[in-house]
Amino acid sequence: MKRMKRRELIFKVITYTLIFLLLFPLVVLVVWSFTKNWPWPNIIPREFGLRGIKYVFGPSSKSLKILLFSLWLSSVVTIVTLLISIPAAKALGVYDFKGRRIFKMLVLAPVIVPSVAVSMGIHVTFIRLGLANTFLGVVLVHLIPCIPYGIRILTNVFEIIGESMEMQARVLGANPVKAFLYITLPLISPGLVSAGSLIFIVSFSQYFLTFLIGGGKIITFPMLMFPYIQSGDRMMASMYSVVFIVSSLIFLVIMEKTVKTYYKAENYFYI
Amino acid sequence: MVKKLFLMLLILVLALNFAACGQGDVANVKEEDILSKDWEEILEVARGTEVNFYGWGGSQRVNNWVDTYLAGRLKEEYDITLNRVGMDIDSILNILLNEKQMNVEEGTIDIVWINGENFFTAKTNDLLFGPFTHKLPNFNKYVDKDCVEVNYDFGFPVDGYEAPYGKAQFVLVYDKTRLDKIPRNYKELLEIAKNNPGKFTYPAPPDFTGSAFVRNIIYDIVGYEQFLDMEPKKETVEKAIRPAIEYLKELKPYLWKEGKTYPATIAQLDNMFADNEVLMTMSYNPNHAVNKKKTGEFPETASTFVFDKGTIGNTHFLAIPYNAPNKAGALTVINFILSVEAQASKYDPQNWGDLPVLDNDKLNDEEREMFEKIDIGEGALPQNVLLEHRLPEMPANLIPIIEEIWMENIPVEGE
């Protein structure tokens, strides 16, 4: 009994330390976004100011419009990536064919090869195809860093659930579309949420690729943020970062909630 | 069967797609030469259009000036919508180089904020449109066309391919409460560093400002005249700057972290100054300290000084890419930027605090007064002091050599 309690205590200490270590830098970020200056040896900032929040939410910076556009772009990328990843992941996770292992490795190539190395060539090709400086072009180029995450996560999901449930549905007379919609999709929905979240974050934080392919015509939120990080304006950089983190968090929570409530209802109905 | 059909369809669509793109390239009609039109016609073409202005976006105050004052006035005067795109110059040049390689006739960038080595790269690769400055009424009226600073950009002839935007000058920034005596030359700087070990440093070249600091030290020790027409050979340069390199070696042990490491960027040094870690920072913008005080990052007691022998000044410019979609709009905007009104507004430290490029002698009394009545703010140097202490920039092709010599001699020594 005593031992149990002690164990619990140790466990709690470790958890809270970890949470503290994860959250503390974010707290500092929030403090910095309202800090004019914070010279040594002050423990708390010497002067606070609202320049950052005024500029970010002011009309001249167009930040909110660009933020909404960024969220929209990354949502499109997430959906397209998932649409491509589901069949690919099913093939890699369920079917046995020659070269499966190699394909599984190759899918990770965009994560291994830095995108900067190939982006110049992609830009030239996109200019030729008329895709440079367009929304479609940016969506396509975002697929490159996103797809590996989508396929890898969903492959693992498919490996676990296998094909038996879908087979069962087919045996009972469901056509492939129905079997997919009513059986497979609900089964992989937790995997879809985690893959989708990761894809969204990867796409949302793309800077260089958007920059090059978008050519300044397609402006995303990180493109507003980076110049300030580079120039060392810590108030602006922190303010933008806070908005960045909060908005992607809100978006992810909403996504998870909608998917979960939707499939809970469905499951309840069909089981 | 269905699969095969689908595949065929897919191939067909793809083929069509490629064909369509190919046609697009051929169909591009060469636009009428805008420079053969007269100014009234150019203004007419520019009215109601959009102009994309690409350049460095790291200063909130500069961004704000462009987004509010400049964009607002252009809308009022010419119904032009100005889109500022904050992008660093390397990326802009990458885009332009790729587009040039593919012969893209219509790009996205109308105006580029540029100077120095980047202008050299852009011009030698035929990325720029021009010469265009002779077309601009305000350029003809207010700018001194014989001035070296307008005709040469880091020793490279401008030839009308870029119009001056503003002037910069290297200055040093200190805090009055923490440093009672300012160094007037390199010897005094060494003394201060010796008395305050670990409290001074400079950004490592090739950081723009760090590199300028090294050049300033070179000028202070061996003079600037010999560099203006020096051939870009490493041996020659090395011999000429040897006393300066020896000096930097002597200074090194008294620097921050004993000179074993240097801030990588000027941004880092600025923040170190703001955090009381070092006693001085430096900038290529003479109103930097005032700007940073306005945003509250620097203490109210921060102030600016230059060396007695002077510091390097240069001009930053605006250029038009060869494939700018709206050249008439770009010309109109650049002409407006060269107006007395815009230059005065830009010079006001309430807005930006960038030195004007107009020639004082060409202004009438009323116009001159617009500049004189501007309060430059506490902690900045007045324009005449800066101009008296202004030294010309070195030719662009010497700079990488000096940076290389610095790299070989300074950080590695003793390790």
Three-state SS for B281? strand
Q: Which residue has the higher pLDDT, A267 or B287?
A: B287
Q: What ipTM, to 2 d.p.? A: 0.80
Q: Is residue A215 part of a domain?
A: yes
Q: What is the mean pLDDT of residues A239-257?
A: 93
Three-state SS for B114? strand
Residues of B in contact with A129 (CB under 8 A): 17-18, 21
Nearest-Cα residue of chain B relative to residue A122: B98
Instruction: Name the band, by pLDDT with cuts 50, 70 and 90, for residue B375.
Output: confident
Instruction: Name the band, by pLDDT with cuts 50, 70 and 90, for residue B344.
Output: very high
Range of A146-150, A213-217, B23-27, B60-64 with top mean pLDDT: A146-150
Q: What is the mean pLDDT of residues B110-125?
A: 93
Q: Which of A41, A124, A233 has its CB closest to that of B60?
A: A233
Domain positions in chain B are 38-167+314-381, 171-313+392-409
Structurally, what CATH architecture does the domain formed by B171-313+392-409 represent?
3-Layer(aba) Sandwich (3.40)
pLDDT per position as a tens digit, B188-240:
999 999 999 999 999 999 888 999 999 999 999 999 889 988 889 999 999 99
- Kindly report the nearest CA distance between residue B41 and chain A, in angstroms: 28
The answer to whether the CB atoms of B58 and A233 lie below 8 A apart is yes
Query: At residue B28, does pLDDT exceed 60?
Result: no
* Residues constituting chain A: 271
> Which has the minimum average pLDDT: B15-29, B49-63, B156-170?
B15-29
* Cβ B349 vs Cβ B380: under 8 Å: yes
Q: What is the mean pLDDT of residues B254-282?
A: 93
| Best A122, A233, A234, A239 residue to mutate vs chain B (most B CBs within 10 Å) | A233
Instruction: Name the band, by pLDDT with cuts 50, 70 and 90, for residue B126.
Output: very high
pTM higher than 0.90: no
Query: At residue A41, does pLDDT exceed 90?
Result: no
Q: Which of A123, A129, A228 has its CB closest to that of B21?
A: A129
Residue A265: per-residue pLDDT: 55
Query: Nearest 5°: phi and psi at B312?
Result: -70, 135
Instruction: Name the band, by pLDDT with cuts 50, 70 and 90, for residue A1.
Output: low
The answer to whether the CB atoms of B276 and A39 lie below 8 A apart is yes
> To the nearest whole percent, how much of chain A has pLDDT over 70?
96
Instruction: Name the band, by pLDDT with cuts 50, 70 and 90, for residue B102.
Output: confident
* Cβ B176 vs Cβ B184: under 8 Å: no
Chain B: residues touching A (Cβ < 8 Å): 17-18, 21, 24, 52, 54, 56-60, 63-64, 67-68, 85-88, 91, 94-95, 98-99, 101-102, 104, 107-109, 265-268, 270-271, 274-277, 295-299
Q: What is the mean pLDDT of residues A134-150?
A: 95
The answer to whether the CB atoms of B102 and A61 lie below 8 A apart is no
The answer to whether the CB atoms of B58 and A228 lie below 8 A apart is yes
* Cβ B222 vs Cβ B244: under 8 Å: yes
Q: Is residue A75 part of a domain?
A: yes
Pull the structure tokens for residue A245: 């983190």
Q: What is the mean pLDDT of residues A149-169?
A: 91
Q: Which of B102, B267, B276 has its CB closest to that of A128?
A: B102
Nearest-Cα residue of chain B relative to residue A51: B295
Residues of B in contact with A234 (CB under 8 A): 271, 297
Helices (H), B52-197: 60-64, 71-78, 89-101, 116-124, 137-142, 148-151, 186-195
Instruction: Name the band, by pLDDT with cuts 50, 70 and 90, for residue A149.
Output: very high
Nearest-Cα residue of chain B relative to residue A58: B64
List the Cα angle A71/A74/A75 in 5-degree steps: 85
Average model confidence (pLDDT) across chain B: 88
Q: Is residue A76 part of a domain?
A: yes
Going by their DSSP bridges, the two strands B111-114 and B81-86 should be labelled as unpaired
How far apart are the C-alpha atoms of A22 and A16, rounded to whole Å? Answer: 10
Q: Which of A37, A215, A231 has its CB closest to that of B95?
A: A215
| Best A69, A126, A128, A138 residue to mutate vs chain B (most B CBs within 10 Å) | A128
How far apart are the C-alpha atoms of B378 and B298, rounded to whole Å? Answer: 13
- Which structural domain range is residue A138 located in? 52-270
Residues of A in contact with B274 (CB under 8 A): 37-39
List the Cα angle A31/A34/A35 in 5-degree steps: 80
Instruction: Name the band, by pLDDT with cuts 50, 70 and 90, for residue A11.
Output: very high
Domain count, chain A: 1
Q: What is the DSSP string of B290-324?
A: HHHHHTTSS-TTEEEE--TT-EEEEEEEEE-BTT-
> To the nearest whole percent, how much of chain A has pLDDT over 90?
60
Query: Nearest 5°: phi and psi at B146?
Result: -95, 0
How far apart are the C-alpha atoms of B309 and B391, rounded to whole Å? Answer: 9
- Kindly report the nearest CA distance between residue A232 and chain B, in angstroms: 5
Residue B13: per-residue pLDDT: 52
**Helices B327-337 and B340-347, interaxial angle, to 10°?**
60
The answer to whether the CB atoms of A124 and B101 lie below 8 A apart is yes
CATH of the domain at A247: 1.10.3720.10
Query: At residue B308, does pLDDT exceed 90?
Result: yes
Instruction: Name the band, by pLDDT with cuts 50, 70 and 90, for residue B161.
Output: very high
Instruction: Name the band, by pLDDT with cuts 50, 70 and 90, for residue A232.
Output: confident
> Which has the minimum average pLDDT: A28-42, B23-37, B73-87?
B23-37
Does domain B38-167+314-381 correspond to CATH entry 3.40.1260.10? no
Query: At residue A4, does pLDDT exceed 70?
Result: yes
Q: What is the mean pLDDT of residues A182-187?
A: 89
Query: At residue B259, does pLDDT exceed 50?
Result: yes
Nearest-Cα residue of chain A relative to residue B98: A124
Q: Which of B64, B102, B275 has its CB closest to that of A127?
A: B102
Query: At residue A62, does pLDDT exceed 90?
Result: no
Residues of B in contact with A140 (CB under 8 A): none
Q: Residue A215: which region, alpha, beta or left (left: phi > 0; alpha: psi -120 to 50)?
A: left
Residue A75: per-residue pLDDT: 96
How far apart are the C-alpha atoms of B394 and B392, rounded to whole Å? Answer: 7
Average model confidence (pLDDT) across chain A: 90
